[in-house]
Amino acid sequence: MSSIEERVKRLIAEQLKSELKDVTDEASLMDDLGADSLDTVELVMALEEEFETEIPDEDAERIATVKQVIDYIKDQLANTSESD
């Protein structure tokens, strides 16, 4: 099984049609990876499906880098497992 970080990076690369090597922790989804607003909506939907979680619009708007995506997903999964 892949780590959360690997899964997030792979998903970002697929959704944004980027090379996996370009999807670094510091990479900005918009500035470095070329995402536009539609891309980010599609990415959020793909993340929600992959990790079986919900990402409210307010949260999605604050996520700008790959590292922020990874940290957000890790937090969501930790909160989900705590409430089970």
Residues involved in catalysis? 36
Sign of the dihedral through C-alpha 12, 13, 18, 20? positive
